[in-house]
Structure 1
C-alpha cells in the first residue's frame, strides 16, 4: 500500500471530516451569505448609480476578511493536546492530511466565497431595485475587470496578485502549525515584526549609509530589463509559496514523529 498518498484513503478522510464538521460548515456558509447580503444591501441602498466594476473593492475586502483568518486556524485539532493525539491517530498519511488542509483552508475559500459573493450581490441588487426602481445598478461580474484593464501584462499582474494572496494565506496557515493558542494574532505579530525589521534595514542602507548618494546603486535599482520584472516577481512568489508549504508540512510531520 502507498504510505504517502492513496486516493481511497484520502476519500475516507474527506468523508470523516465532513461527518464531523459538515453541519457547522453549512451554518457558517449560510451566515456568510446573510452577512454579505446585508453589507451589500447597505452599499446598494446608499448609491443610486452602480457600475459592475464598483463591486470589486467589496469582493476583495469581504472575501479576504474571511479567507485569511480561516487559513490561520488550519489543523484545528492542534489547539489542544487531546485532539492533537486523536488527529494523529487517524489512519491517513501526513501528506493526505496536509493536502486536505491545503484544499479546505486555502483553495476552497477562493472557490466558494466568490460564488457566495456573486449570489449575495445579485440578491442585494434585486432587493434594491425592487425598493428603488429608478436606481441604475449593474450586477457584479468579474469580467468587468478585464473590460476596464487593457494592458499586455495584465495576465502576469493578475498571476502575481493571486500568488501574493496565496502567500498571505500560506503564512497564516504555517502559523497554525506552530502556535497552539491564538495562531492568527501571534503569526500577524511575527510577520509585522519581520516587515518592520526589513523596512528599518533598508532605511539604514538608504539614509545612514547613503548608498544612493555615494553612487553605489544596489543591483535591483540598476536592473534594466523592466519587461521581465513581473516574471521575476512571479518566480520569487512561487519559491516563497513552495517554501512556506514545505515548512508547514515538516511542522506537521514533526508533530507526528514526536
Structure 2
C-alpha cells in the first residue's frame, strides 16, 4: 500500500473535497494503478472502471455522501467508488470468497444504496428513492449514473418520463462512452451520436468558461446566461439535448468526463 500515498492518506471520502486539482489528478493516477493491479490478480471489469475515475472523484468532491445517494448503472463500474468510500484496504479481496463484491452491495456499505448489475435499473431506483426523500422532507440529492448502453433499456425511459415531471431532487448523469458489451445500436444510440461533439468544441468550451470565471462579478452570471440561451436554442431547433429537456430535465453537456474542473463545475450547477 506504500505505492499509493494519496489513497493511504485520505481520511474518509469527505476529505477529497479539500484536495487541490493537482492532487485529485494524482489521486486518479493512483486509482488507475491500484485497479489495474487488483483486476490483474483477481479478474473483474477493467475498462468501465478506468473510464469513470475522474467522474467518481468529482461526485465525491461535490456531494455529501452517503446522505446524498449515488446509484451506478451498470453496477460493475463502481471500483473507484468502493476504494474511495472506506474500502481501500479491503479492495485486494475484490471478487474473492468473503471479500468485496464486484458490484454495489447494500449489505457491504452504507455508500452502496442499491444492488445493481445489468442494467437499465438505476433511474427507476433513483426515482423511487428521490420520491421517498421528498415525501419525508429530505432535501438530499439522489444521483443515477447510467451508461449509454443501459439508457436504451425500456425501464430507463419509463423512469425518465416519470422523473422529468416530478420535481424531485434527482440528477441523472449519462456516461456516454459509446460502448456496452459491444457498440450500442438502435434509435437511442443514433440520437446520442447527434449529441456528441468534437474534442475541439469541448476544449474551446472549457477554455472560454474558465476565462469567464476569472472575470470579477460578471463571470459566473455570464456562464449561467449562456447555458440558458443554449438550452432555449436547442429546444427551438429540436436538437442536441432537446429530447431530455422535453421530458422535463435540464440538460447540461456534453462534458469531458476526464476533466475534473469541468466535471465539478457542472455538478455544482
Shorter-chain-normalised TM-score: which range?
under 0.3
Structure with bigger helix share is: 1
Q: What is the TM-score normalised by the length of structure 2?
A: 0.22
Structure with the greater alpha carbon radius of gyration: 1
Q: TM-score, normalised by structure 1?
A: 0.23
